[in-house]
Structure 1
Amino acid sequence: MGESGRIAIVTDDPGWHGARLKQAFAARGFDCAYVSLTACHLELEDPAMPVRLPGFSERLPDGVFVRGIPGGSLEQVTFYLDILHGLKMLGIPVYNDARAIERTVDKGMTSFLLQRAGIPTPPTWVLGDAETAREITRRELAAGHRVVSKPLFGSQGTGLQRHDSLEDMANLAPTNGIYYLQRYVCSDENAPHDWRVFVIRGRTVAAMRRCGVTWLNNVAQGARCEPARLDDILLCRLAEDAAKTLDMAYAGVDVIRDQHGRYTVLEVNSVPAWKGLQSVSDVIIADLLVDDFLGHCAGTESARRAAT
């Protein structure tokens, strides 16, 4: 670690999560600065510091903790990820790194990688052709299934629609030209719920059951949080396998159990919120994240010194 132990927390909205992280870093002797990727830039005339972060004019941070990636055009989002890629190439620990974010911010790639690894996940279709999307939906409905359409990029349940009948197909529309369709998994018609499992360095550290007021179980959509015990080996192992498959330092894994008792992974989040989870957990999640992150930073620095 550098002498002053400075950490960049990448976020445009520090809020509750930023405050908890900053408090945890301070308790361990590290100063933090919130950094927006929109304010970063490449300065390629200076080989010593080709990536510039506001608040780090003299030297780069000892580590970068990513709490959010701004939205924007394809060019803007690509550039934001370029900043994170560049920092890692310069030897700065980035948590989660750009590769992990790329694999999970794109739901299509997440589903593809889970399916290829044999991780149970609902049948999914990602495409741009409207007629094919309607045909897939008609076929699923005829087979007795329901279909959920989601934005390819999105979180917190925003923009999700469920198509229960042919009449609902009038609402079937792409998001920015792309359809992401997934077979709906029903947990309980009368009491919908799923689980958010928080995994750090391949180990489940906390979990909660999310009970939706509608078929959506996202906390941002009003779901109630209930504590979940960590002795359900199948649930925890499935979440851990999903995080490992996507090569993530930490992850929020959304798992649902169908009416036949089978678990399946719905989504994997590389920048997961944990405010709701913290409200029903005994462990302090920010402390666990910061301890793991600082351990990773120390390991990176030791490896860098050994190489010089």
Structure 2
Amino acid sequence: MHGWIVYNGHLKSPKFLDYAKLIQEAAHQKGISMTIYPNHELLSTMSGEGMSIAGTDTTEHPDFVLFGDKDILLARQLESMGIPVYNSADSIEACDHKGIMYQRLAQNQLPIPKTILGPKIFIKTDDLHLTHLQKEGEKLGYPLIIKEAYGSFGEQVYLVHTKEEMMKTLKSIHNRPFLLQQFISASYGRDVRLNVVGDQVVASMLRYSEDDFRANVTTGGKMEPYSPSVEEEELAVRASKAIGTAFCGVDLLYDEDEQPVICEVNGNAQIRNIYECTGINVAEKMIEYVIEQQGKEGEKDT
């Protein structure tokens, strides 16, 4: 088998290419060749004759693609050409837009913080009509969380303590999709990341920060290995299934009764930190999963 790995070539952090190289090496150890492409080298082209990929030597289609990016239209283009994509374009979109993500988790009656989606505003304006949103947001209690729908690594997340802070933040971000969310204060600066592959949690770690409400390592958090309970593992797998991911990172918060609450499902969860923390190479588990799925597809064809 031969596959492609797609990452975003315009993001300057080396972690994105590192993610691709970890997967490439894991595949090589299984005898599978993988070509790494930045998304800007794979151009989706369409005409009355159908769809294709241009921009590089892609005349030979891969057997599958591991998609480490959020270029949803490119992922959808590849799928439309009959190429299996992991994760699917639909699940990438659901993880990328936090509003869609929380809707799907709620539809499956999974524990999440109380959440209110902000209205679509489109433009930057001083004429804001947010009285209803403000009143509903105050029911969540202060402090509360404001999240932009698009964001990663704990960025675009704001903790506000008063009505004045809330309105100041909304005036700054209102032309972008956003939501208000209950703050799980008992989990201040603490969460658990569980990496799910298929139907299993394959690695997990506790993340914590001594001076930030976010526990992300990118924002300065620390990490240590964590042994999840059966219930935590089942919850993480259910969250992955609700979103439709083949593999993901599920972040859990804990309420005042130490019950887990799903913070987010990350379809492009970075795997270097958890490798260094636990010694478990999630990339190997991902490749094993793809081999299994490709084998099943081969059996269907015969």
Q: Which TM-score band applies after superposition, normalised by the shorter structure?
A: 0.7 to 0.9
| Residue of structure 2 equivalent to 1:38 | 40
Q: 1:215 aligns with which of 213, 216, 226?
A: 213
Alignment of 1:235 onto 2:232 = yes
How many pairs were matched up? 283
Contact kept? 1:93, 1:296, Cα under 8 Å:
no
* Mapped partners of 1:265, 1:148: distance in 2: 14
- 1:135: how far off? 2.2
Match of 1:110 in 2: 101
Equivalent position of 1:162 in the other structure: 159
User: Residue 19 of structure 2 aligns with which residue?
Assistant: 17
Would the aligned equivalents of 1:150 and 1:161 in 2 still touch at CA under 8 Å? Answer: yes
C-alpha separation between the residues in 2 aligned to 1:300 and 1:56?
26
The 5 A counterparts of 1:1-308 are 5-13=1-9, 14-39=16-41, 40-44=43-47, 47=50, 50-69=51-70, 80-128=71-119, 129-141=129-141, 145-173=142-170, 174-188=173-187, 192-213=189-210, 214-230=212-228, 232-303=229-300, 305-306=301-302
Distance 2:137 2:47 in 1: 49
What is the TM-score of this pair, normalised by structure 2?
0.86
| Residue pair 2:194, 2:204 contacting (<8 A) in 1 also | yes
1:54, distance to aligned residue in structure 2 (A): 4.5
Q: What displacement does 1:41 show?
A: 1.9
The whole-number CA distance in structure 2 between the counterparts of 1:295 and 1:54 is 31
Q: Is the 8 A contact 1:9 1:32 kept in 2?
A: yes
Task: State how far apart, in whole Å, the 2-side matches of 1:12 and 1:133 are.
Answer: 35
Q: TM-score, normalised by structure 1?
A: 0.85
Question: Structure 2, unaligned stretches of length 5 or more?
Answer: 10-15, 120-128
CA 1:53–1:9 in structure 2 vs 1: closer, same or farther (change >3 Å)? farther
**C-alpha distance in structure 1 between counterparts of 2:32 and 2:177, whole Å:** 43
Give the distance between the partners of 2:114 and 2:102, measured in 1 at CA.
9
Q: How many angstroms apart in 2 are the aligned matches of 1:175 and 1:167?
A: 15
SS at match of 2:227: coil
| Structural RMSD (CA) | 2.0
SS in 1 for 2:117: strand
Distance 1:89 1:99 in 2: 12
How far, CA to CA, are the matches of 2:84 and 2:112 in structure 1? Answer: 31
Q: Decide which moves more: 81-90 or 22-31.
A: 81-90
- Identify if the C-alpha distance between structure 1 residues 31 and 56 changes in structure 2 by more than 3 Å, giving closer, same or farther: farther
Structure 2 counterpart of 1:72: none
Over 3 Å counting, the alpha-carbon distance change for 1:46 and 1:220 in structure 2 is same
Deviations 1:11-47 (A, max 9, x none): 0244321221111122222222222333312243655
Partner in structure 2 of residue 74 of structure 1: none
8 A contact 1:124–1:183 mirrored in 2: yes
CA distance in 2, matches of 1:118, 1:34: 38
How much does 1:133 deviate?
2.7
